[in-house]
Amino acid sequence: MRAAYERLVPLRMRRVIGFDAKGTVSLALWLTGRRHGVPAGAVPVPYFGAQAPALLVFLGAMVVELFVVEVVLRSVGAPYAVRAVLLVLDGYSIVLALAVIAAYVTRPHVVSATEVRIRSGAFFDLRIPRERIASVRRVRAYDEKGTVRVDGATLTVAVSSQANLQIELTGPVTAVRPLGAACEVRTVRCFADDPDAALAAFAALGPGQAARPGDRAA
């Protein structure tokens, strides 16, 4: 059945379906106060803080829109069927927005003794073996374009156009972009709410990787 599913459903469509499934799981994790993929002894590295205000304002606007549309439609005497359809669509959009937020909250970057996971909610997940990490340092970048971008052999997973950590690798790793395209990268840039804590986690977990706390211009 899985082979038939992969043969009949295009890759991009399968990826989008996967986003919805992961978002649903993330909602359940968020409601129960748990996180995904953070084993015992590993250090979660959150990145939601920088984008929280914008996403919460957007969510609030969607909730207000739902009530405003309902009031307007009632005032003009719109049929119940029309109001019900729009209410369901608006309600579903709000659930999707909540799922996106939940995925960012419950799927942080993860630093463990065996690997590092760089994530962007339900949309991106790169696992890097610790032996592939040569060094980690802070950078300052405030004008990143896009959320997941590849430029040559450099992968950037930005948050609100920002990146503040740069991971240099000893060899290439394969990264799969959100819609399924694969690429080989040797440098990974990402964002952490607390980059100093992230550097401390790199230094504490797993020998042999150099974590340098000093800021470097991007």
217: part of which helix (H) or strand (E)? strand 210-217
- 3-state SS string over 125-177? EEEEEHHHEEEEEEEEECCCCCCEEEECCEEEECECCEEEEEEEEEEEEEEEC
Per-residue confidence (pLDDT) for residue 208, from 0 to 100: 47
What pLDDT is recorded for position 44?
97
Mean pLDDT of 209-217: 50
In this structure, the number of other CB atoms found within 10 A of the CB of residue 147 comes to 17
Contact 63, 94 (CB under 8 A): yes
Residue at 18 is within a domain = no
Residue 113 counted as domain residue: yes
The conformational region for residue 146 under phi > 0 = left, psi -120 to 50 = alpha, else beta, is: left
What is the model's pLDDT at position 2? 81
Position 207 pLDDT exceeds 70: no
- Give bridge partners of residue 32 from the DSSP assignment: none
Q: How far is CA 100 from the centre of its chain?
A: 8
Asked if pLDDT for residue 191 goes beyond 60, the answer is: yes
Share above pLDDT 70 across residues of the chain, in percent, rounded to a whole number: 94
> Could you tell me how many helices (H) and strands (E) the chain has, helices first?
5, 10
- Taking 60 as the threshold, does the pLDDT of residue 92 lie above it? yes
Q: Is the pLDDT of residue 156 over 90?
A: yes
- Is 131 a domain residue? yes
What is the predicted pLDDT for the residue at 206? 59
Q: Is residue 95 part of a domain?
A: no
Assigned domain for 69 exists: no
For the CA atoms of 190, 195, 198, 202, what is the dihedral angle to 10 degrees?
Answer: 80
Name the token pair of 203.
Answer: 């230094």
Q: What is the mean pLDDT of the chain?
A: 92
Mean of pLDDT values over 21-32: 97
Phi (first) and psi of residue 22, to 5 degrees: -65, -35
Work out the average pLDDT over 81-95: 94
Whether this model's pTM surpasses 0.85? yes
Q: What is the span of the domain harbouring residue 139?
A: 109-217
User: What confidence score (pLDDT) does residue 110 get?
Assistant: 98
| pLDDT at residue 211 in the model | 58
DSSP state letter for 122: T
pLDDT score of 112 more than 90: yes
Round to whole Å and give the CA distance between 32 and 156. 31
Burial of 94 (0-12, 13-18, 19+ CB in 10 A): middle
Residue 48, domain member (yes or no): no
- How many domains does the chain fold into? 1
Residue 36 in any domain: the answer is no
Question: What CA–CA distance (Å, rounded) separates 120 from 16?
Answer: 14
In the predicted model, is pLDDT for residue 204 greater than 90? no
Q: Is residue 30 part of a domain?
A: no
- Say which residue the tokens 């797993």 belong to: 206
Higher-pLDDT residue of 6 and 15 is 15
- Residues sharing a CB contact under 8 Å with residue 135, sequence separation 6 or more, in sequence order: 167, 168, 209, 210, 211, 212
